[in-house]
Structure 1
Amino acid sequence: MVAQGSGFRRLMVLAFCVAGIWSAYIYQGVLQETLSTKRFGADGRRFEQLSFLNLVQNVICLIWSYLMIKVCGGRGSGSGSGGAPWWTYWSAGITNTIGPALGIEALKYISYPAQVLAKSSKMIPVMLMGTLVYGIKYTIPEYICSSLVAGGVSMFALLKTSSKTISKLAHPNAPLGYLFCFLNLMFDGFTNATQDSISARYPKTSAWDIMLGMNLWGTVYNLIYMFCWPQGIGYEAIRFCKQHPEAAWDIFLYCLCGAVGQNFIFLTISRFGSLANTTITTTRKFVSIVVSSLLSGNPLSSKQWGCVVMVFSGLSYQIYLKWRKLQRMQRKRKPM
């Protein structure tokens, strides 16, 4: 009875994590698409300063992580606590500032489903860099996964987008939009590698420490770019929000969803591991495309849906391979 009760509680926690990640990021996707395509107010103006979202996201996540460290009794950053010093995040903070900004800017040129699909092909640059730079040899099933994903994204990019979807874009330009997504993935790869390096050097660093350090530097860099750069687009974004309070509210909700979503991701990884988190976030991306197609008026053709299924078949197969590898490792660890 105790074991059954424990198993039921674990299942409920997992369901709670799935609901949290799905609701936070699916709604964030809806808001992101709204902010990139909607015309606000009587003057029908678009919100062009999409990179402003990153600054607000950094500030909210910075406050959120600080409060979580204080409330949950975290160690905080610093050599005295055993965690990574705050200055160690400066390089990852740069790529974590540029990468997401490029991903958001891509929505001016391609549709939200196309952006989600392109950003789902993260394994391709990872395997490419692993082969060319580090000489890593991958298995045939891994190449099959990458081929399915690469083929699906490529075919989706080549297929004609509906005129209704194109009319919503600020500056339709598919090659530039996909280039931004690819650069986003490259910068994300460096960010993840740097975070792993920091965690290895400072084992006592918690997820909240990393979140705090990354968003601290992200806030600094974005403030410099938004308000000290010659364009001063941060001032334009603030003026737009004052003139269109509806946009300001959407921006706040967008960033709040990001902070809540990160909270559930940390909870999922700590309780169920990274594989479970990968599975949840991958299925969430597929649902986001469905929601966008149904609610936001981005109709996909049958061929485009075939490309979407192709990409997520490759991602699902990759998750299965990781699960099988994990099972083999666990069997080896069991005492004979």
Structure 2
Amino acid sequence: MEAHGSGFRRVFVLAFCVAGIWSAYIYQGVLQETLSTKRFGSDGKRFEHLSFLNLAQNVVCLIWSYIMIKLWSSRITGGAPWWTYWSAGITNTIGPAMGIEALKYISYPAQVLAKSSKMIPVMLMGTLVYGIKYTFPEYMCTFLVAGGVSTFALLKTSSKTISKLAHPNAPLGYGLCFLNLAFDGFTNATQDSISARYPKTSAWDIMLGMNLWGTIYNVIYMFGWPHGTGYHAIEFCRQHPEAAWDILLYCLCGAVGQNFIFLTISRFGSLANTTITTTRKFVSIVVSSVLSGNPLSSKQWGCVVMVFSGLSYQIYLKWRKLQKLQRKRKTT
């Protein structure tokens, strides 16, 4: 009876994590698309300073992680010092900024799809730099994802979607997304290296360190450069409170989403988290197409299904590998 209750609680926590991640990031996606396409106020102005979203989210997540550390973390010494995150902070600042900036040039579904192809540069770098040999099923996954993304990029976007974009330019938009993936790869590798060197580092410590440096870099970029776009962004928010409210909600969604991701990884592992976030991306495209008026053609939907079939197969391969490893451990 106790085991049954424990199993029920585990299922309930998992369902809670799925609901938290989906609701936070799907709504954040809607807000991101709104901020990149909507015309605010009676003057019908666009919010052109999309890089400001990164600074705002860094500040909110920095405060959030500091509060969480004070409330929940036990005071164990031996975690990574704050200064160790400086290099990962640079790439984590530039990468997401490029991803958000891409929304000026391509639609939100196109951006989500392009950013879903993270496995392509990982496998490419693994083969060329480290000489890693992958299996045929792994290459099959990459082929499905790469084929789906490239075909989607080549297909004509509807005129209704193009009319909403600030500066339609597909090659530039996709180029920014793939640069975002390259910088994300370095960020993830650096975070793994820090965690290996300082095993007592908690998820909240990483969140605090990353967002601290992100805040420093973004403040310098937004307010220190000659154009001072940060001042223009704040002035725009002052004149258009609706945009300021959307930005605050966007940041809170990011902080809440990170909270549920950490909970999922700590309770169920990274594979469960990958599955939840991958399915969330697919749902985000559906929600964007239905609610935000970004109609996709039947051929484009075919590309979306192709990409997520590859990602789903990749998740299945990881799950099978994990099951084999667990069985091996039991027999030894």
Deviations 1:115-163 (A, max 9, x none): 0000000000000011111111111000000000000000000000000
Q: 2:173 aligns with which of 171, 177, 182?
A: 177
Q: CA deviation at 1:230?
A: 1.2
Name stretches of at least 5 consecutive residues in structure 1 with no aligned partner.
none
1:47 is aligned to 2:73: no
CA distance in 2 between counterparts of 1:74 and 1:314 reads: 41
- 2:306 maps to which residue? 310
Deviations 1:171-205 (A, max 9, x none): 00000000000000000000000000000000000
Runs of 4+ in 1 over 3 A off after TM superposition: none
1:85 is aligned to 2:84: no
1:20 is aligned to 2:20: yes
- SS of residue in 1 equivalent to 2:129: helix
- Equivalent residues in 2 for 1:128-139, closer than 5 Å: 128-139=124-135
- Equivalent residues in 2 for 1:136-155, closer than 5 Å: 136-155=132-151
Number of equivalent positions: 332
CA distance in 1 between counterparts of 2:331 and 2:291 reads: 53
- 2:62 maps to which residue? 62
Q: 2:326 aligns with which of 324, 330, 336?
A: 330
Q: CA deviation at 1:73?
A: 2.8
CA distance in 1 between counterparts of 2:106 and 2:73 reads: 43
Deviations 1:29-86 (A, max 9, x none): 000000000000000000000000000000000000000000003448xxxx100011
1:250 is aligned to 2:243: no
Equivalent AA in structure 1 for residue 24 of structure 2 = A
- SS of residue in 2 equivalent to 1:334: helix
CA distance in 1 between counterparts of 2:320 and 2:300 reads: 30
CA distance in 2 between counterparts of 1:56 and 1:226 reads: 11
CA distance change for structure 1 residues 194 and 28 in 2, over 3 Å: closer, same or farther?
A: same
CA contact (8 A) 1:68 1:74 kept: no
- SS of residue in 2 equivalent to 1:6: helix
Equivalent AA in structure 2 for residue 118 of structure 1 = A
Equivalent AA in structure 2 for residue 48 of structure 1 = E
Deviations 1:256-295 (A, max 9, x none): 0000000000000000000000000000000000000000
CA distance in 1 between counterparts of 2:208 and 2:250 reads: 19
- 1:187 maps to which residue? 183
Q: CA deviation at 1:335?
A: 3.7
Identity %: 88
CA distance in 2 between counterparts of 1:256 and 1:332 reads: 43
Aligned-residue CA RMSD (Å): 0.7
- 1:6 maps to which residue? 6
- TM-score for both structures, normalised by structure 1: 0.98
- 2:114 maps to which residue? 118
CA contact (8 A) 1:121 1:153 kept: yes
- SS of residue in 2 equivalent to 1:82: coil
